[in-house]
Structure 1
Amino acid sequence: MKLQHQQVRLRQLKQSDVSQLAQLLNNPKILDNLRDSIPFPYFESDALKFVDLCNKMDPLRNFAIEYDGQLVGTIGLEQETDVYRLSGQLGYWIGEPFWGKGIATTAVNLMVDYGFKSLELIRIHACVFSFNKASQRVLEKNGFKLEGIFEKAVIKNNMIFDEYHFAKVNGKS
């Protein structure tokens, strides 16, 4: 399956990505929208662990996002287990220098296609902090529906926020 549309391509993460990953993720504007499990500052050793972990997965579920041949972010699907095993949670980020170019919208479209076709998921969902309007728009552009708003569900930077839950269901199931 080809994971590319125009200048945006999803590909396996490589050890040569480590420096660029660390550079892009050492930005509070990005980390403000991600879970606290991602350390700050983000060192090359953190990036190397992430790349190694991702490449041990079979099938691959985390990818580098390339734009015009340059690493600009990552995207992944965490496949659920047990009775939720045909569902996956989507997560992604784009480095600040590449914001506003439609890269995330295209990457999400490619990843959803991969999740439905290659991983045989029937449902993909994403959780977005209430203040992350750009990510909410990316999901809406890709046909995700807002399923609910979880009031005061997350704490980020010592502040409490609502969390928006979006989902898309495979129309072929």
Structure 2
Amino acid sequence: MAALPRIEGEGFVLRPWQAADLDSLVLHANDEAVSRTVSDRFPFPYTKQDAEEFLHEPAKPPAIVLAIEIDGVAVGGIDVRPGAAEFRIGGEIGYWLARRYWGRGIMSRVVACWCRYLFAEHGFERLQAAVFANNPGSARVLEKAGFQREGILRRAVIKHGRILDLWMYAMLRSAPTNSKQSARDD
């Protein structure tokens, strides 16, 4: 497998997770508000054992999973899971960020930077993301990063006992992000 990238952005770095991130990962991931916005693969409460298991193997190839570092500390994560077979020209991104960094425009810049990298270095034609309908903040992140809402999967998921719609967003290589606009909008 190729070495994982280190990508410097405006106020953040995307880099491989490290064993030294253990305490920060537990601190920032063990937040019920974060848990409400992500897949059930991301447990709550998020324990030291969960973090150790994740850091041992953040993802199985071909997925790429990176830490979001701000001021030298891992405070979130971003990934891509490439499609298979006839869907191999696309990938699905996912992300999370420590609550203390919400509302600052950071995640829109991270997503825009990540997508530019994925289009340039991995040849994707399409990137997509799914958002729980109870997470309009994530929808705004994607829209500011250049994604368009393509549809709604009605009553598609259950999260914390609630059945929710799933909003589907996508960005095409032919319509890449405009990170300067995203940064101004935040």
Farther off after superposition, 105-114 or 159-168: 105-114
- How many percent identity over aligned positions? 33
Select which of 32, 37, 40 maps to 1:36. 40
- Closer, same or farther in 2 for the Cα pair 1:2/1:148, shift >3 Å? same
**Pairs within 5 Å for 1:68-79:** 68-79=71-82
The aligned residue for residue 62 of structure 1 is: 65
Partner Cα separation in structure 1 for residue 12 and residue 118 of structure 2: 17
Conserved 8 A contact 1:151-1:162: yes
What TM-score do the two structures reach when normalised by structure 1? 0.92
Q: Letter of the 1:11 partner, please give it.
A: R
Distance 1:16 1:96, change over 3 A: same
Find 1:115's aligned residue among 90, 114, 118: 118
Q: Is the 8 A contact 1:87 1:121 kept in 2?
A: yes
Whole-angstrom CA distance in 1 between matches of 2:47 and 2:120: 34
Out of 7, 12, 21, which is 1:8 matched to? Answer: 12
**What do residues 116-156 of structure 1 show as CA deviations (whole Å, max 9, x unaligned)?**
11221111000001111110001001110100011111111
Structure 2 residue 1 is matched with structure 1 residue 21: no
Question: Could you tell me the TM-score, scaled by structure 2's length?
Answer: 0.86
**Runs of 4+ residues over 2 Å off in structure 1:** 54-58
